């Protein structure tokens, strides 16, 4: 066994690993996240790490320059351990570190969204705070030698007296705490209770008599990013928010690779642990510590996530999702409670899932559609959720259909050499001078530029195209000091020049091709879906854009490159992370839960791959902007 | 830190302990059981261990002979760690070893009891197998591209079709396993289900289609001994049995010392862990491995135990039980399920408690009274449970009352120098030749004699009294080679002479005094209770004796020494461990559950300490046989 030390940003994790093991494997076992979008197959070249001390065997694949290799850069998936070693993990390779919860830039913008959405939904008859939780304040008679009724019986009789409810059930948490809390507070106490469907009153807990909050959490589990909100079931106030990278990234960038990883022996447990214990649990801990709440006092959880994510999160066998006939275990389930999950929340807290519609259209979409309100309008709208999978919903108050396309991780910085997620250091917007080709860019946070996030990539491709630097096929067709080519002749545009202290940030022809396929997938999916019902873009009144990627999204640029249809800018609405917003609505309001159920049962799923003409549409959309450029010409 | 190795019977546990810590404390922290009936206060001298290597500071208290000290014997509670050491724990000091499940001699005799009791209860209208669990065998259509219904929905529809029940709830265990089990068995499966009170069908699990058993466990948690049975809810067959010492013995021999230990910081968790994880979990594991059952496939648990034990087992705050006005948290509760307990059973398995009647009369007694059937008879009976606490129930079909007295641990070998529990090596019966004073004894198991268990102590005291070796006050009044005296003049009767390989086994005047107080407590409680309702012994038709101690109990001897009232031998029935038998009945039969509820709500609790005349009765009973010997004269 050798001692391997992983370092990042001042954090250090020490582990023991056997000789011959790959560095990626050792990192996974130590709970250290290294991005491995290709799941460690040596293809993507994203798992770059830097060897600071010791030796490694291999890891100098073709994705690395000679200079990189000289400076100690290695691919973790191809490096084998042969000695003690100290390894540095660059920000870009593992930007979502083990147990570290990062501030979230997409949901930060959503702050006001919760109130706006609540107001809007109220117009549709959905009350923001219609739930069955409440706090009961009790003052009991103290026991005496003449009145030795057990504590539980004493509380039961008092509840009956105060509420008229005789069917009372106690949580084990209540039973364990009752004697001490009652005696510490002179037999005065506050009880968080839920009126359940069978008419019974469920008593979750016993708290000091001045307690007024019933904390609950909503979680959007994205394939790449996980976002969460802590709220209060009594007032609907937002108590805290957090987001973090999904630590399952260790096991692959997309749902298919994750399912495959989960199908290996012990894999299901590893994938569950990664998202539950290494991602969501620290987020909950962080939110609770920010707001002075005990995690065990979270009494309800709502999860909105794609079908694969909610299966992997609950530890379900996900293989049938990727195998014909693509059947998941559940669309919706109320089988899970806090005690089934290693999140540290109340053991009896019900876990509510936004319902799935199919194996590739999940609860993130049904929760998102709730927020869009397209289900209440006579005119036709489109809802696009830009994640690692792109999901599209089309319809109106009478009818809705949905489909999913595999956009790949490009929108979130995957499959792009200098791609990264929308965190500190990401270039989120760019302008290029058509004459000098000199770029101007904006960077998220107070940081030197580290890479390009999704919106930065869209802008870059658009600007390169607008300035005539790249052709409709994505080939670089101008020369200049910003244009470099490698030995095989692959051209790249340098956005930030490399120095001793600054990594070179560029986009190359391979990146552009990857990105163009992603945007082509989205556009062709929209067109195919419309064709399927004999409609075209002109009949669409509104397009709603959702997803973490969207926060810096320049709609005009996205239209220019042929990613989204040419509608008037006013017809676009950016809704932010609708999955999270929808989950918060469901958490607080049973009306919202019922509406999402109604939406999901009314959604018709369209399997794109079996649609005639889809492949042709896709190929046509893999140009800038499209083989039919007139589709995107400004009016 | 020093390295301490504890050895017993070939098992070895190694631990690190700081200098100055007592050996008892180090053992507790390492999960090693050393009997400490006085909870480590240096009084009882039971925590004898043998120092094999290294050194200890202190531990040579007055309870040890010089020869014992020379041979390395020390008191663990008074020995302080000053070096690395190897410690042997004698069978007698820690006869219930960490994680070791011993065969149970009292329940072994109960084997036929389950059937007999079931037959008898049937005559009272209590059906042995009236419960709401069953196994549903399903054959489903396999999904196709045309029929992609999720697995859960598929199962739900099939259940509705087969049973007509539309209100179906799935356990998280079912949801997690459904996809793989269905596919491994061609969409055929067996589902253990429970029809619940609200009309819903709860699906616990999904098993291969040939599964036929619904395992369930009954546990009797005694202060000293824990006994358990694994049974099948479908057939009522007994699948396995086990018993073990309650590992809480580390924290004191009686309920008061245990409650005090639990009230210290972190104590509640330690006491819970001791009985749950160190005692019952290994028993369940053992029973399951004996019968080829997965512990996670135990779908129901029934617990019968005294009020303190069921509070400490569930992690409840027990302090109010010992403090005026003596109020427990609960008499009965349905708040606990498998997931609340670290037993490895099914997380949704309901935990059923035999109801308590007061702080000192618990579910062990209500379950026991069920088995006695005294509640169905017009004549008056007495039920005596001889445990660390003695509980007495008196009454008939119209009326029942109960009381508890603190007999102390003497019946189980505590407070007696050479006392031990009824396991291998215990002398369980004895005859003494009145002329020669030479004893003849029987030993449990195939072992050299190690000590005296409860029934052996009763026999010894009776024989010593019968042979005129001791006076009515318990003083040794004959001389001979079997009679020895220590420096302070305390006489002892040597039952087994000490040799190089055999520990001396004796009973001394202090032991006899301790035992006489125990038997006096039982007898005076019976008399006081009868007086309280203006009755006397002659009005009693039947006395039922229950408890682990009873298996080798010689009733005639117990009457001779004034422990039990003088009735005809036919009027006594030894029922064995009625607490466990009653728990099994409740586990299998809802009729039994209802009957126990009825019994408990009809039981009037009599607080002995406030009864006028009780102390006089007790003092009078602290003679052999009694100050009024005529009470025990043979007819």
Percent of chain B with pLDDT strictly greater than 90: 65
Q: Do B174 and A335 touch (CB under 8 A)?
A: yes
**Structural tokens at position A111:** 């702050």
B286 vs B232, B243, B295, B306, B582, CA distance in Å?
16, 10, 10, 24, 22
Indicate which of B156, B166, B172, B361 best probes the interface with A, i.e. most A CBs within 10 Å of its own CB.
B172
Q: What average pLDDT does the structure give for chain A? A: 89
What integer pLDDT is reported at residue A98 of this predicted model? 33
Q: How far apart are CA B110 and CA B484, in angstroms?
A: 40
Q: Do A179 and B329 touch (CB under 8 A)?
A: yes
Of the CA atoms within 13 Å of residue B131, those in its CB half-sphere come to 28
Instruction: Sort strands A238-245 and A301-305 into parallel, antiparallel or unpaired.
Output: unpaired
Closest chain A residue to B307, measured at CA: A150
- Give B607's contacts in chain A (Cβ within 8 Å): none
Closest chain B residue to A329, measured at CA: B151
Of B176, B319, B326, the CB nearest to A314: B176
B600 vs A89, B329, B331, CA distance in Å?
66, 16, 9
Going by pLDDT thresholds of 50, 70 and 90, the confidence category of residue A65 is: confident
Instruction: Sort strands B426-432 and B451-452 into parallel, antiparallel or unpaired.
Output: parallel
Q: Do B315 and A176 touch (CB under 8 A)?
A: yes
pLDDT over 50 (residue A105): no
In chain B, which among 113-172 make CB contacts under 8 A with chain A?
143-145, 147-153, 169-172
What integer pLDDT is reported at residue B548 of this predicted model? 63
**Strand, helix or coil for residue B338:** helix
Q: Span A601-627, mean pLDDT?
A: 91
- Give A329's contacts in chain B (Cβ within 8 Å): 150-152, 175, 178-179
State pLDDT tens for residues A525-549. Answer: 999 999 999 999 999 999 999 986 6
CA B194 to chain A, closest CA, distance in angstroms equals: 15
Q: How far apart are CA B593 and CA A619, in angstroms?
A: 71
What integer pLDDT is reported at residue B126 of this predicted model? 94
- Give A319's contacts in chain B (Cβ within 8 Å): 179
CA A211 to chain B, closest CA, distance in angstroms equals: 21
Of A145, A150, A315, the CB nearest to B331: A150
In chain B, which among 51-110 make CB contacts under 8 A with chain A?
none
Q: How far apart are CA A314 and CA A316, in angstroms?
A: 6
Q: Do B150 and A329 touch (CB under 8 A)?
A: yes
What integer pLDDT is reported at residue A10 of this predicted model? 57
Sorted by sequence, the CB contacts under 8 Å of residue B482 that are 6+ apart come out as: B437, B438, B439, B493, B494, B495
CB pairs under 8 A between A and B: 134
State pLDDT tens for residues A486-519. Answer: 988 999 999 999 887 787 899 999 999 999 999 9
Pure H helices in B447-508: 454-466
In chain A, which among 291-320 make CB contacts under 8 A with chain B?
314-320
What integer pLDDT is reported at residue A94 of this predicted model? 45
Neighbours of B3 (CB within 10 A): 13
CA B360 to chain A, closest CA, distance in angstroms equals: 13
Closest chain A residue to B147, measured at CA: A325
State pLDDT tens for residues A276-319. Answer: 998 999 899 989 988 999 999 999 999 999 999 999 999 999 99
Q: Do B329 and A175 touch (CB under 8 A)?
A: yes
Going by pLDDT thresholds of 50, 70 and 90, the confidence category of residue A244 is: confident
A171 alpha carbon, distance to own chain's centre: 32
Q: Span A311-340, mean pLDDT?
A: 96
Low-confidence ranges of chain B (pLDDT < 70): 9-12, 31, 37, 39, 91-112, 548-551, 635
Of the CA atoms within 13 Å of residue B295, those in its CB half-sphere come to 16
Q: Do B172 and A317 touch (CB under 8 A)?
A: no
Q: Do B148 and A340 touch (CB under 8 A)?
A: no
Q: How far apart are CA A250 and CA B301, in angstroms?
A: 41
Beta bridge partners of A494: A506
CA A355 to chain B, closest CA, distance in angstroms equals: 12
Of B316, B328, B339, the CB nearest to A176: B316
Q: Do A333 and B171 touch (CB under 8 A)?
A: no
Going by pLDDT thresholds of 50, 70 and 90, the confidence category of residue A111 is: low
Of A175, A179, A329, the CB nearest to B320: A179
A518 vs A457, A461, A475, B138, CA distance in Å?
12, 12, 17, 44
Q: Which of B306, B309, B305, B295 is nearest to B349 (CA)?
A: B295
Q: Do B336 and A172 touch (CB under 8 A)?
A: yes
What integer pLDDT is reported at residue A505 of this predicted model? 93
- Give B145's contacts in chain A (Cβ within 8 Å): 324-325
Range picked from A64-78, A284-298, A419-433 for highest mean pLDDT? A284-298
CA B432 to chain A, closest CA, distance in angstroms equals: 50
Q: What is the interface pTM, i.e. ipTM, of the complex?
A: 0.85
In chain A, which among 325-364 make CB contacts under 8 A with chain B?
325-331, 333-337, 339-340, 347, 356, 358-359
Sorted by sequence, the CB contacts under 8 Å of residue B69 that are 6+ apart come out as: B60
State pLDDT tens for residues A154-171. Answer: 999 999 999 999 999 999
What integer pLDDT is reported at residue B104 of this predicted model? 40
Of A174, A314, A326, the CB nearest to B175: A314
Q: Do B314 and A175 touch (CB under 8 A)?
A: yes
Q: Span A81-90, mean pLDDT?
A: 88
State pLDDT tens for residues A337-374. Answer: 999 999 999 999 999 999 999 999 999 999 999 999 99
- Give A320's contacts in chain B (Cβ within 8 Å): 151, 179, 183
CA A196 to chain B, closest CA, distance in angstroms equals: 12
**Strand, helix or coil for residue A403:** strand
- Give A360's contacts in chain B (Cβ within 8 Å): none
**Structural tokens at position B446:** 């195939």
- Give A147's contacts in chain B (Cβ within 8 Å): 325
Q: Do A152 and B329 touch (CB under 8 A)?
A: yes
**Structural tokens at position B198:** 């609200």
Q: Span A244-264, mean pLDDT?
A: 89
State pLDDT tens for residues A211-237. Answer: 999 999 999 999 888 999 999 999 999
Pure H helices in B51-131: 66-70, 105-122
Closest chain A residue to B339, measured at CA: A339
Of B172, B317, B318, the CB nearest to A335: B172
A505 alpha carbon, distance to own chain's centre: 25
What integer pLDDT is reported at residue A209 of this predicted model? 97
- Give B180's contacts in chain A (Cβ within 8 Å): 317
Q: How far apart are CA A528 and CA A402, in angstroms?
A: 11
Q: Does A6 touch chain B (CB under 8 A)?
A: no
Q: Does A220 touch chain B (CB under 8 A)?
A: no
pLDDT over 60 (residue A252): yes
In chain A, which among 462-501 make CB contacts under 8 A with chain B?
none
Neighbours of B451 (CB within 10 A): 26
Q: Do A150 and B340 touch (CB under 8 A)?
A: no
Q: What strands, in cross-sheet order, belong to the sheet with B79-88?
A: B11-17, B2-8, B79-88, B48-58, B73-75
Beta bridge partners of B448: none
Q: Do A144 and B325 touch (CB under 8 A)?
A: yes
């Amino acid at each position: 066994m050798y001692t391997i030390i992983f370092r990042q940003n001042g954090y250090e994790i020490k582990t023991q690993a056997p000789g011959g093991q790959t560095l990626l494997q050792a990192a996974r076992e130590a709970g250290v996240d290294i991005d491995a979008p290709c799941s460690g197959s040596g293809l993507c070249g994203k798992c770059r790490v830097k060897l600071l001390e010791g030796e490694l065997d291999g890891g100098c694949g073709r994705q690395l320059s000679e200079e990189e290799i000289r400076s100690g850069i290695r691919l973790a998936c191809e490096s084998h351990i042969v000695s003690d070693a100290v390894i540095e993990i660059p920000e870009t390779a593992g930007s979502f570190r083990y147990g570290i919860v990062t501030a979230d830039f997409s949901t930060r913008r959503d702050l006001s969204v919760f109130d706006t959405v609540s107001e809007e939904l109220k117009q549709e008859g959905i009350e923001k705070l219609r739930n069955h939780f409440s706090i009961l304040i009790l003052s009991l008679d103290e026991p005496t030698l003449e009145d030795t009724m057990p504590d539980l019986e004493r509380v039961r009789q008092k509840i009956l007296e105060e509420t008229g409810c005789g069917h009372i059930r106690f949580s084990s948490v209540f039973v364990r705490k009752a004697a001490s809390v009652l005696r510490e507070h002179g037999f005065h106490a506050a009880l968080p209770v839920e009126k359940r469907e069978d008419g019974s009153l469920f008593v979750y807990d016993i708290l000091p008599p001045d307690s007024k909050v019933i904390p609950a959490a909503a979680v959007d589990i994205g394939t790449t990013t996980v976002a969460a909100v802590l709220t209060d079931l009594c007032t609907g106030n937002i108590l805290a928010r957090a987001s973090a990278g999904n630590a399952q990234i260790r096991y692959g960038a997309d749902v298919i690779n994750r399912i495959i990883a989960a199908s290996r022996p012990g894999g299901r447990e590893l994938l569950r642990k990664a998202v539950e214990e290494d991602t969501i649990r620290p987020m909950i801990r962080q939110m609770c510590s920010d707001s002075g709440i005990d995690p065990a006092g979270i009494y309800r959880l709502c999860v909105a996530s794609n079908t694969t994510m909610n299966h992997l999160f609950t530890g379900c066998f996900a293989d049938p999702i990727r195998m014909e006939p693509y059947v998941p275990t559940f669309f919706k389930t109320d089988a899970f409670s806090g005690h089934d999950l290693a999140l540290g929340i109340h053991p009896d807290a019900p876990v509510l899932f936004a319902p799935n519609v199919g194996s590739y259209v999940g609860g993130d979409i049904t929760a998102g559609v709730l927020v869009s309100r397209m289900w209440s309008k006579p005119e036709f709208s489109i809802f696009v959720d830009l994640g690692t999978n792109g999901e599209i919903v089309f319809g109106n108050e009478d009818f809705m259909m949905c489909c999913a396309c595999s956009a790949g991780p490009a929108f979130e910085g995957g499959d792009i050499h200098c791609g990264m997620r929308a965190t500190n250091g990401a270039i989120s917007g760019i302008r290029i001078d058509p004459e000098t080709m000199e770029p101007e860019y904006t960077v998220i946070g107070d940081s030197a530029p580290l890479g390009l996030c999704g919106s930065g990539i869209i802008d870059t491709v658009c600007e390169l195209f607008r300035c005539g630097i790249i052709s409709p096929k994505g080939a670089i067709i101008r020369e200049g000091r910003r244009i470099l080519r490698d030995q095989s002749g692959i051209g790249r545009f340098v956005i930030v020049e490399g120095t001793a202290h600054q990594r070179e940030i560029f986009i190359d022809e391979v990146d552009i091709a990857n990105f163009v396929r992603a945007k082509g997938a989205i556009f062709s999916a929209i067109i195919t879906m419309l064709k399927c019902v004999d409609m075209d873009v002109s009949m669409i009144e509104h397009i709603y854009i959702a997803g973490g990627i969207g926060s810096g999204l320049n709609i005009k640029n996205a239209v220019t490159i042929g990613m989204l249809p040419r509608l008037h800018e006013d017809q676009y609405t950016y809704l932010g992370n609708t999955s999270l917003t929808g989950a918060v609505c469901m958490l607080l309001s049973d009306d919202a839960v019922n509406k999402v159920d109604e939406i999901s049962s009314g959604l018709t799923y369209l399997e794109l791959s079996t649609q005639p003409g889809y492949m042709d549409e896709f190929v046509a959309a893999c140009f800038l902007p499209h083989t039919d450029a007139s589709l995107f010409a400004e009016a």
